[in-house]
Chain A
Amino acid sequence: QVQLVQSGAEVEKPGASVKVSCKTSGYSFTDFLIHWVRQAPGQGLESMGWINVKSGGTHYEQNFQGRVTMTRDTSVGTAYMELTSLRSDDTAVYYCVRDDTRATLVDPWGQGTLVTVSS
């Protein structure tokens, strides 16, 4: 079955960077985009952007431009999201999910990675 398995929780200091991985299985990796969505504690969902895993092309939402980099390794079916210059309001659960290129985020989502930014 389709699975997206993310790396474990991280605790980082303000100003540091974090890199979250999303290992996929059960489908052809290049058939979908990988979209990243985050959710601050008790808050709603926020799109960060996506990576076209076939071409490597990316789109980052305006709020994250300049701080986020999405990459992929097609040899191991894994996508990565790196966020730099972390602030306390970056504390959130970060999810990866497949995007069918028709602006639909299809199940299943990754299990989520909690990133805590604290001094």
Chain B
Amino acid sequence: QSALTQPPSASGSPGQSLTISCTGTSSNIGAYIYVSWFQQHPGKAPKLIISEVSKRPSGVPDRFSGSKSGNTASLTVSGLQAEDEADYYCCSYAGNNNLVFGGGTKLTVL
């Protein structure tokens, strides 16, 4: 049982936009700006795509954007591309030096 709740799967056609939610509590997502998103392709290590709710690291396409409202964070992928098919994980600081993850969302590009 993960501390953050994500839908297990999501899908969209190329060119469409899609949003993945990540629901936590007032002790993690709701309390801090330290919410990150990671992309993981099969057999590979995770890759940081969003930090501090909405910051994109250098090299991450601007098709990826993040936001937060209350205890829920969201990742939006605009203009879906085939290479976006991957697992996506949210992550939040939870106080007392703890870090918690969501269970992951498998994104399928139809």
Residue of B nearest to A49 (CB): B97
A7-57 CB contacts (< 8 Å) to partner B: 35, 37, 44-47, 50
User: Cβ of B36: which chain A residues have Cβ within 8 Å of it?
Assistant: 103-105
User: Any chain A CB within 8 A of the CB of B98?
Assistant: yes
Task: Flag if A104 contacts B51 (CB, 8 Å).
Answer: yes
Q: Is the CB of A105 within 8 A of B57?
A: no
Is B46 in the interface zone, CB < 8 Å from A? yes
Interface of B is mostly: strand
Chain A residues near B99 (CB-CB < 8 A): 35, 47, 61, 103, 105
Contacts A47-B101, A103-B32; A109 near B46 (Cβ below 8 A): yes
CA distance A103 to B91 in the complex (A): 9
State whether A107 and B57 are in contact (beta carbons under 8 Å apart), knowing that A44-B102, A47-B100, A112-B45 are contacts in the complex: yes
- Give A84 to B2 CA distance when docked, in angstroms: 23
Q: How large is the interface on A (under 10, 10 to 19, 20 to 34, 35 or more residues)?
A: 20 to 34
Whether A45 and B45, one on each chain, are in contact in the complex, defined by CB atoms closer than 8 angstroms, is no
Contacts A44-B89, A45-B91, A112-B45 given; does A104 touch B52 at CB 8 Å:
yes
B51 CB to closest chain A CB (Å) equals 5
Whether B32 contacts A46 by the Cβ 8 Å rule is no
Bound-state CA distance A105–B102 (Å) is: 15
Give the shortest distance, in Å, between A32 (CB) and chain B (any CB): 13
Whether B48 sits at the interface, judged by CB under 8 Å, is yes
- Min CB distance, A51 to chain B, in Å? 12
Ordered by A's residue number, 6 sampled pairs between the chains whose C-beta atoms are within 8 Å are: A44-B102, A45-B46, A59-B97, A105-B36, A106-B48, A112-B45
**Interface on B for A, CB 8 Å cutoff?**
2, 32, 34, 36, 38, 45-48, 51-52, 57, 89, 91-93, 97-104
